[in-house]
Structure formats: C-alpha cells, structure tokens
Amino acid sequence: MSRYSAWQIVKQGLTGNKSWEPAWRDASPKSSYDVIIIGGGGHGLATAYYLAKNHGITNVAVIEKGWIGGGNAGRNTTIVRSNYFMEGNTEFYEHSLKLWENLSQELNYNVMFSQRGHLNLFFTPGQRDAMIRKYNIMRLNGIDGELLDRDQLMSKVPHLNYSQEARLPILGALYQGRAGTARHDAVNWGYARAASNLGVDIIQNCEVTGFISNGGQLVGVETSRGEIRAEKVGMAVAGSTSLLAHKAGLGRLPIESHKLQAFVSEPIKPFLDSVVVYGVGHGHFYISQSDKGGMVFGGNLDGYNSYAQKGNLPLYTDVASCAMNMMPALGRVKLLRQWAGIMDMSMDGSPFITKTDINGLYLNAGWCYGGFKATPASGWCFAHTIAHDAPHDVNKLLTLDRYKTGHMLDESGHGPYPKSH
Ligand SMILES: Cc1cc2nc3c(=O)[nH]c(=O)nc-3n(C[C@H](O)[C@H](O)[C@H](O)COP(=O)(O)OP(=O)(O)OC[C@H]3O[C@@H](n4cnc5c(N)ncnc54)[C@H](O)[C@@H]3O)c2cc1C
C-alpha cells in the first residue's frame, strides 16, 4: 500500500481523489493463525501491529464483534499523560507517552497527537502536598512535571473560577507539558492500516462465542463465523473481559464492568488550549477542546454495573455542575452529544498484561478509565508477552500474580468500590 505523503495529497487532489486505496483489508477468517487477538479496540490493534513489526509474527488475526474502534477506543475523552505515582505504572505510562511522541511518523498516519499540556488542579494544602509528592516521584524517574501557583495558573488559563467565594477556591495546579490529547478514531485506523500492511487480518462483525481446548491447551476460538484455530489467543476486550474470561474458564477476575460517560458541546471558538482536570475528593471532572471546537468533558463512573453503552441522568447533572463550578462561562454553551463506554475496572486501579493459568491464553485488561493513553505501550508489551511467553521489564508488575500474593498496585484504586475511582 502506498505511503501517505504531501505528494499523494497533491496528486489525489489534482485527479479528483478517485484512487485512494482502502486503509486496511477487511479480511475474512482463515481456518488457523499463529496468534488471534480478540477485540478490535486500540489495544487489540496495537498488539497485532507490534507482533508483526517488533517480533515478525504476521500470521495474526484481530477478531472484532462489531466494527474496529466501536468500543471504548472510539468513545473516550482522549487524554494522554504519564503523571503516575506507583512503581509499575510510572515506567509503563512513560513508555507509552514516548511511543505517542513518534506515533504519527511510525504509523504513517496522523493520529493528531497534541502535546498541549495537562493541568491537575488542587484546592487544599493537603491535596497540594499529595500532588507534590507524586510529581517528585515522577521527576526522580525522569518524567516532566511542575508545580504552578494560583497566579501562574491564572496566566495560563484565565477563565477558571478563581473567586475566593467559589465552593472550591483554586490554589494551583500540577502541570505536565508533554501530556495532551490525540484523535481516537485516527489511532485505531492508523494501527489497523499499519498492521494490515504487515499482513495482519482484521476481521470485523465476528464475535468470539467460546474457546476450544485440547488437554489443557487452548487451541482456538469459536466465533459467529465458525471455528478458528491458533496456537496463542490474546484477549483485549476491555468492558467485556469478565464475560469472555468466564467462557474461557479463567474463573473470577478482580475486574468489574462500569459505565463511564462522555459529553461534547457545540463547537465554539478557541477557548481552552490545555487539558484541565480535578480529581477525587471534591468530585471528578476533566475537560479539553477538540480540534473541531467542541468542549469534550467527563467525570466519574455511573453508580452501578452495566453493559449498556449509555449513561444515566444523575451523573449527567453532576458533570454539568462540575463544569459550571470550574468554568462558569460554559453555562452558555449547548451540549451536543453524550454517550458511555464500558470500563474494565480493576480493584487496584492498575491493568493486567499477562499470561494466564490457561496455556495459550493471554490477558490484556483492567484499564479502568485510563486505557486510551496506554494504547501504544499496552500493544507493545502485550505483543512482547505473547511472543516471548514472559512479560517485558516494563509490564513485569502488571500480571495477575499480584492478586495471588497480595502485592496490589494502588493508583487511585478504591479496592472493592470501583465506582469511587
Ligand atoms: C467515556 C470514556 C472516557 C474515557 N477517557 C479516557 C481518557 O481521557 N484517557 C484515557 O487514557 N482513557 C480514557 N478512557 C478509557 C479508554 O477508552 C479505555 O481504557 C481503552 O480504550 C480500552 O482499551 P480498548 O481500546 O482496546 O477497548 P475497546 O475499544 O472497548 O475494545 C474492546 C473491543 O472488544 C470487542 N469485543 C468484546 N467482546 C468481544 C467478543 N466476544 N468477540 C469479539 N470482539 C469482542 C468490543 O466490541 C470492542 O471493540 C475513557 C473511556 C470512556 C468510555
């Protein structure tokens, strides 16, 4: 397939844009593969790409029950950052951010990664101390981060609610300048195109309905389009993890499925050129502006478990009031759309990229509401784990073993109360 380039745009423009090729092959399933990846979200597609690119394993199928990017990969608010605190997460998310920084060039596809900076507001001296501690740890690990006082923050984002009469008077913010946003669809399409170019089959409208084993060894999957055999099967199905794990006989996992909503306003003129967030304690709210001008924002999880990809009214009103509280000017803006995705909430707020107790079955899950930023490193590490039957250094703490030995990583995890993340 030809490379995208300025020359291609000129050529296509002069010839009526008639000869663009489809970005990836819409493949039909073969009877067997070396590796099957279940789930055509960002993580599944990235895994297939890195299997082919980094490990030379190209006889790979990505099996998706709907259309690629129709799950959380195409429903999220696209915040990318690496301001994590705990060993295990710190190095993993920084590895991801480094991959993001070169992703458009690597995939030859503009994923619209915009390093516009991420501001995490604080409102009390206690919150400030906790965040300073987190950023000191980041800086000790070579990750950028700085503390902004109220005046510095005001010069960066003048239209926050700085009134001392506000319910939450702002004291300052922690800032990561290399963080930002990317275009979710472009990330899925970019990985799909690059993987397909390397020989990976992307099979849409094909649901995995069961698993085929032979003497304790997984040898393939049953699908709505027939049986497909493989030596290795990787699961990257986010909110559907528990359902499929049950079918595979993995037993109960420390994961619950919860809904998370996102909201987009009508497009407005440039209003916000960074990502602004405030978290746990006083509520939870995050906002950025898309390239089309819409204000993209969200808040906490809905309060009950569900597989419905739509949200409920109480959270909707809660998020709207958080928006008004932080940026009163938004009160005049009309909301255009709202939807939800199903989050695979792990009990310690951290993910799994791991082998399982079933030979031939590998698990990628537990992304909570932070898996978009993880997409490149998740695919990179999952591919390594599948290819070598062992984790890479970067994901060695992200295995299921931590739940066997009691060495949980706690990253704003609230144990059995995932809805409080
Ligand atoms: C509203 C919202 C906001 C978010 N905001 C952010 C954010 O700002 N930053 C961030 O880092 N993260 C964010 N996230 C989280 C992030 O989107 C997810 O953690 C991440 O996308 C999950 O990985 P994925 O892309 O592979 O999942 P998905 O895109 O959900 O992929 C899983 C795929 O598996 C398929 N599947 C399921 N069962 C089967 C089956 N039986 N057979 C075949 N296929 C199957 C599904 O159809 C789906 O396409 C947000 C999520 C939501 C919903």
- Average pLDDT over every residue of 182-186: 97
Residue-level pLDDT at 303: 82
Tens of pLDDT along 78-104?
A: 999 999 988 999 999 999 999 999 999
Residue-level pLDDT at 283: 72
- Average pLDDT over every residue of 337-361: 95
CA-closest residue to ligand 1 atom 2: 76
Tell me if 207 CB under 6 Å of ligand 1.
yes
Kindly give, in sequence order, each residue whose CB lies less than 8 Å from that of residue 325, ignoring residues fewer than 6 positions away.
161, 166, 167, 168
Backbone torsions φ then ψ of 77, nearest 5 degrees:
-95, 10
Band of the pLDDT at 391, cuts 50, 70, 90? very high
pTM of whole model > 0.85? yes
Tell me if 241 CB under 6 Å of ligand 1.
no
> For residue 373, how far is its CA from the centre of ligand 1 (angstroms)?
11
- Average pLDDT over every residue of 335-348: 94
Tens of pLDDT along 223-277?
A: 999 999 999 999 999 999 999 999 999 988 999 999 999 999 999 999 999 999 9
Higher pLDDT, residue 404 or 281: 404
**How far is 329 from 260, CA to CA, in rounded Å?**
25
Q: For residue 222, what are the β-bridge partners?
A: 210, 227
Tell me if 379 CB under 6 Å of ligand 1.
no
> For residue 216, how far is its CA from the centre of ligand 1 (angstroms)?
30
- Number of C-beta neighbours around residue 276 at 10 A: 22
Q: In testing the pocket of ligand 1, which one of 76, 185, 296 has its CB within 8 Å of the most ligand atoms?
A: 76
> For residue 344, how far is its CA from the centre of ligand 1 (angstroms)?
8
The answer, yes or no, to whether residue 421 has pLDDT greater than 60, is no
Residue-level pLDDT at 64: 98
Higher pLDDT, residue 134 or 352: 352
Please provide the average confidence, as pLDDT, over all residues in the chain.
93
